[in-house]
Amino acid sequence: MSRTTLGLALLLAAGLLTYGLVNASHEADYSQNSQNQNPKEATDAASANITPKPSPQAVTPLKVLWQADTEGSGIYSDDPPVSDGRFYYSHNNTLHAASLTSGSIAWTFENAGTPEIISGNTVYTISGSDHLVKLSADTGKQLWSTKVAKQFMEIGGHARLIGKTIIFANESGGIAAYDPDTGNQLWTNPDIPMYAGTIHGGHKGVLIVSSTIDNIRSQFFGLEPATGKRMWRTEGILSPVTTYEDDLVLRETAAEQYIPGDSPVAGHLLTLVRLDSATGQLTRQEHYQSLTDVQLTESSLTLIEQPYVYTLDSKPDQADRSLIRFTLGQTDGSGVKSYDEYGVWAAGPTDGMAFFRKNNMVTGVHLADERTVPFAAPADGITLIQKEGNAVFASYDNGSFIIMDARTGAAVGKLDTGLSYTYFSHIIISGTTALVRFENITFALEMPEALLQE
């Protein structure tokens, strides 16, 4: 969830240029400009151009191995509910353990939702809107049940296994810790507000959680892992980006972006800070790209892939968002790359590529070297694009779902989902099976053979 300061010298001294862990804060168009090339380079580039394949209407239908009605809760979780060849999902308030390849049901457990935690041979889920239960992954047998909420949770309760402790956050009831073996409560702190909250985990011996104050500002708490006692609190218009040296790296946003005034307010397109896990102090502030007016500037994604940081932003005078890449540490205006030349942003960065739309064409750009791939599927009506390995998945507002080859742009399979709402969650690929999870239905598709070849 949405989750001052020393100068640039401290930032560089701390090694911010060497971020390693990548994390997006949850989400296609023209070939690369070849001007100013010498003749040989132009010839090589022309020979490397990829001719778009036939329109999706001529594409081979995708083979549906099985499908199941599923509930939308939890489908956008960072941890997909898959383990040891089984897919776990909830429907009609019943948890199902299904075979990934055949969809056959191994067991069910009534009055339970999608798993909160899958660890080893056990599944932890919320039951009855007020209990956390532990189940055997083999049989679905209940191993223990413990009450975790005084009132029924309509939404917002979630658990995470951190080390050998389950941390449970309840939007209306604070935060607590439980023994995963027995279900016994280890501690509780009802004074930590967790509305729209996130459990960030243990850093420098501190348990860090966050929640929203007013859907604009966020508050971060540092807790003693053994007792749940509050050690520090920090607030601001902050959203998590990644971790570095066991600290959180956050994007800091100016209040004027949400509460505009009558006069322009100078600021920056992007500001990164580090949250010291031990003290809760915000340090090492770094600004990128000065703006004469930051009002109504909106950002929807920040991603760090060393040595770059990518940001996706829109301005009051434009409906579309722009993808910009900065070189970490270079705040003097150098090392800036805009991707506007490729068209209107459609998706990414995802798995090393970004996607753009132009003239009803989707173009993928390899971020490492800016090689481009034109895709056969049309850009008009596209809802969502996702890349996973050799495959690019795209859904459309007319219900179509298309798989394309990320290497060539060819469309290799198409499915008519019959859906009017075609947003899907992270694709799960296991062997030759791809699980495509929409809000109320999951399709298990056979991956086209061309995508399984290196």
Confidence label for 205 from pLDDT (cuts 50, 70 and 90): very high
Confidence label for 152 from pLDDT (cuts 50, 70 and 90): low
In this prediction, what percent of the chain has a pLDDT beyond 70?
A: 86
pLDDT at residue 426 above 50?
Answer: yes
Confidence label for 447 from pLDDT (cuts 50, 70 and 90): very high
Identify which has the larger pLDDT, 149 or 131: 131
pLDDT at residue 142 above 70?
Answer: yes
Q: Are 171 and 194 in contact (CB under 8 A)?
A: yes
- pLDDT, the chain, mean: 86
pLDDT at residue 260, as a whole number = 75
Q: What is the mean pLDDT of residues 12-23?
A: 30
User: pTM (2 decimals)?
Assistant: 0.84
Burial of 259 (0-12, 13-18, 19+ CB in 10 A): exposed
pLDDT at residue 130, as a whole number = 86
Looking at residue 262, the DSSP 8-state letter turns out to be S
Identify which has the larger pLDDT, 43 or 308: 308
Helix, strand and coil in the chain, % to nearest 5:
5, 50, 45
pLDDT at residue 56 above 50?
Answer: no
In a 13 Å sphere around the CA of 416, the CA atoms on its Cβ side amount to 6
Name the nearest CA neighbour of 70 among 374, 450, 436, 409.
436
Tally Cβ neighbours within 10 Å of residue 431: 10
Name the nearest CA neighbour of 85 among 73, 96, 106, 101.
101
pLDDT at residue 285, as a whole number = 94
Q: What is the mean pLDDT of residues 95-120?
A: 95
DSSP-assigned letters across all residues of 334-392: -SEEE-GGG-EEEEEEETTEEEEEETTEEEEEETTT--EEEEEEESTTEEEEEEETTEE
pLDDT at residue 57, as a whole number = 52
Q: Are 392 and 406 in contact (CB under 8 A)?
A: yes
pLDDT at residue 11 above 60?
Answer: no
pLDDT at residue 154, as a whole number = 52
pLDDT at residue 184, as a whole number = 97
Thinking of the domain 8-73+196-452, which architecture would CATH place it in? Beta Barrel (2.40)
Q: Between the CA of residue 6 and those of 256, 282, 327, what are the distances in Å?
A: 22, 9, 20
Confidence label for 74 from pLDDT (cuts 50, 70 and 90): confident
Give the least confident one: 27-31, 104-108, 161-165, 339-343: 27-31
pLDDT at residue 160, as a whole number = 95
Q: What is the mean pLDDT of residues 136-159?
A: 85
Structure-token pair, residue 452: 């399984």
Rounded distance between C-alpha atoms, residue 11 and residue 250, angstroms: 13
pLDDT at residue 84, as a whole number = 94
pLDDT at residue 2 above 70?
Answer: no
pLDDT at residue 48 above 90?
Answer: no
Rounded distance between C-alpha atoms, residue 29 and residue 252, angstroms: 30
